Structure 1
Amino acid sequence: MQNKADRIVILGTGGTIAGKAADAADNVGYVAGQVSIEQLVQAAPPLAAYLLETEQVAQLDSKDMDFATWQLLARAVDRHLARPEVLAVVITHGTDTLEETAFFLQRVLAPGKPVVLTAAMRPSTALMPDGPQNLLDAVAVAAQAESGVLAVMNGRVHGAERLRKVHSYAVDAFASVESGPLGLVEEGRLRWLGAMPESASALGLSRIAKDAKDWPWVELIQNYAGADGRGVDALLAQGVNGIVVAGTGNGTLSVRLSVALERAQAQGVRVLRSTRCDAGPVIGGVLPSAGALSPVKARVELLLQLLA
């Protein structure tokens, strides 16, 4: 009988890490989600030192990530973490929406075992692919961390709440805003730089039990020079359920946009106010604040609130 938690489950969802290009010198003209999770593991021979199990949950480009896949992924993570022999779960993912998926899983599950997301900025066919090292580092972190949703890229460990993609092309594409990374992976060893931030208790899978096609519609809009309320009115006419607005500065909004959002709120549409700035919270104001959440994470938060 298995008594010791020593197995790490790797869930594949596609992304650039599983991408292929016709030319090894081409790092942008590839098709994402072409390589199986088993093949990704085989591409990093040192992973043979770990007791691993793989499962292909999805095979897509993360720009196309959807609610149905989030639902499948959350259920798969929860199912595997409940197994006593499983130490941790690693997820391979595309970079485009990785920060949203990480935050979604943290809010829904707040796992008591490590859940580590990793990705790549170059396809598997590149002359110098970053995927194998990132996957190896992610498994090493999964084996040494204690709990929570983490992301590992380029030797850095990030927490789900502060993680952001900050570069469109560079291998070092992710950062933890305001605080810097939580830790570093150095030749397979995890060195913590700071304590894991406290997180709220798990919302639970019951929050997302509704069929994904029936989840609320939460839209993102921005404040900018010349912004008015016409976009808000168009969303209202189409039956939007929630709106996250990325304001300028401290979540500031043009007078016309603010009036339109207040009108939407009065009609029962939930509104959260975030900021276009890369860091810092939204403080004060008439409309509800998203705190220090980025606009895309504020959208996830509002979505989960509406699913309650």
Structure 2
Amino acid sequence: MNANQVRRLVVLGTGGTIAGRAAQANDNVGYVAGQVAVSDLVAMVPALSACPVDVEQVAQINSKDMVLGVWQALAARVAAHLDRPEVAGIVITHGTDTIEETAYLLQTLLRPSKPVVLTCAMRPSTALVPDGPQNLSDAVAVALHPGAQGVVVVCAGRIHGAMDVAKVHPYATDPFDSGDAGVLGCVEEAQLRMFRSWPQSAPEGTHDAAALQRLLSAAALPRVELIFSHANADGEVVRALLGHHAAARLSGIVVAGTGNGTVHDDLLRALKQAQASGVEVVVASRCAFGRVVPHSAQPLPDSAGLSPVKARLALALRLLEA
């Protein structure tokens, strides 16, 4: 096996804005996501001509419509390619809306020993100045970087860890932030400058096969709802959920609390009722930065620093193990 074969790259497409089309080149918001084949996206990036590439269309969706079936198909294909000795890394094209959730899922379940790089765009492929080709080129540089491992998100020249990345802007071409932890590194003219360590990998093999099998065997994720605490909040939403508990198979609730995970008293009473009925409740902070700092007076278990959307997914995955 020669050096080029060892550094083979896999590109998996799932749709998103990077594969979007608009009727006019100056329209960056009125486009339809998931229209361009991933093979066509690859053909636009010169960096991908430098090594052997396998291209596969796993899905073709707007990422706001992500469902368990797509996650299962994607995780299965990622795991299969990770097991190929000649594959150096995997790049996934994805929509920005739920990329942080997909990245978290893949890192938490697989903990890959090779790089799995999710990338995206904020402008469709038909834009006057599309950002997708550069993001895809940067993702290739990360996926082929010696020593790279784990799941990361690459956008606008920055490398975000899956556990920390969050979309914080609805329109800017650099819409992500990694909070207090900061980015892992950046890509500068196809060269990496690293600031932090790569995500942790599974102790044996190319990924955690047992965790993957739990996901693939699931007919559905345990139902975990996300609600917000806010001024003038009450417990009606929680009581409504409990009223349909049996039919909806409600298993958990994540509440995005104010400040340091504080929750309106009226809402808290309903959440305590949910706990008493067997529903697991976790509190995160609705603040964009920081985390819930645990303290003895905190009435609810906290999310261990996870954002509300990742805390919802983490609870569902934990309940799946039960």
TM (normalized to structure 2)? Answer: 0.92
- Is the contact made by 1:165 and 1:173 (CA closer than 8 Å) also made in structure 2? yes
Listed as ranges, the matches of 1:182-201 within 5 Å are: 182-196=184-198, 198=200
Could you say what secondary structure the match of 1:107 adopts? helix
Query: Structure 2: where are the runs of 5+ without partners?
Result: none
Q: 1:199 to 1:69 in 2, by over 3 A?
A: same
Partner of 2:182: 180
In 1, the alpha carbon distance for the partners of 2:78 and 2:313 equals: 18
The answer for the alignment partner of 1:129 in structure 2 is: 130
| 8 Å contact from structure 2 (residues 150, 200) kept in 1 | no
Structure 2: distance between partners of 1:2 and 1:209: 34
Q: CA RMSD in A?
A: 1.5
Partner letter of residue 215 of structure 1?
L
Q: Deviations over 1:108-150 (max 9, x none)?
A: 1010110000000000000000000000100110000521101
Q: Is the 8 A contact 1:112 1:147 kept in 2?
A: yes
Query: Are 1:252 and 2:265 matched, yes or no?
Result: no
Pairwise mapping of residues 1-308 of structure 1 onto structure 2 (< 5 A)? 5-144=6-145, 145-196=147-198, 198=200, 202=208, 204-212=211-219, 214-239=220-245, 240-282=250-292, 283-284=294-295, 285-308=298-321
| Matched-pair identity in % | 56
Distance 1:21 1:209 in 2: 35
**AA aligned opposite 1:196:** W
CA contact (8 A) 1:279 1:292 kept: no
Structure 1 letter corresponding to 2:238: V
Question: Structure 1 length as normaliser, TM-score?
Answer: 0.96
In the TM superposition, residue 199 of structure 1 has moved relative to its aligned partner by 6.9
Q: Which runs of 4+ in 1 moved over 6 A?
A: none
Cα pair 1:99 1:164 within 8 Å, conserved: yes
Q: Is the 8 A contact 1:158 1:182 kept in 2?
A: yes
Measure the CA separation in 1 of the matches of 2:37 and 2:28: 19
Unaligned segments of structure 1, at least 5 residues: none
Distance 1:215 1:195, change over 3 A: closer
Question: 2: distance between equivalents of 1:122 and 1:26?
Answer: 9
Look up the SS of the partner of 1:90 in the other structure.
strand
**Structure 1 CA distance, aligned partners of 2:167 and 2:93?**
16
Partner Cα separation in structure 2 for residue 258 and residue 50 of structure 1: 56
Structure 1 CA distance for aligned equivalents of residues 148 and 134 of structure 2:
21
Task: Specify the code of the residue in structure 2 equivalent to 1:227.
Answer: A
1:299 counterpart letter in structure 2: R
**Shift in CA distance, 199/225, structure 1 to aligned 2, threshold 3 Å:** farther
Indicate conservation of the 8 Å contact 2:111/2:200, yes or no: no
Distance 2:110 2:230 in 1: 35
Please give the secondary structure, in 2, of the residue aligned with 1:303: helix
Secondary structure at the counterpart of residue 271 of structure 1: strand
Does the Cα contact within 8 Å between 2:10 and 2:53 map onto a contact in 1? yes
Q: What secondary structure, in the 3-state scheme, does the structure 2 residue paired with 1:58 have?
A: strand
The count of aligned residue pairs is: 307
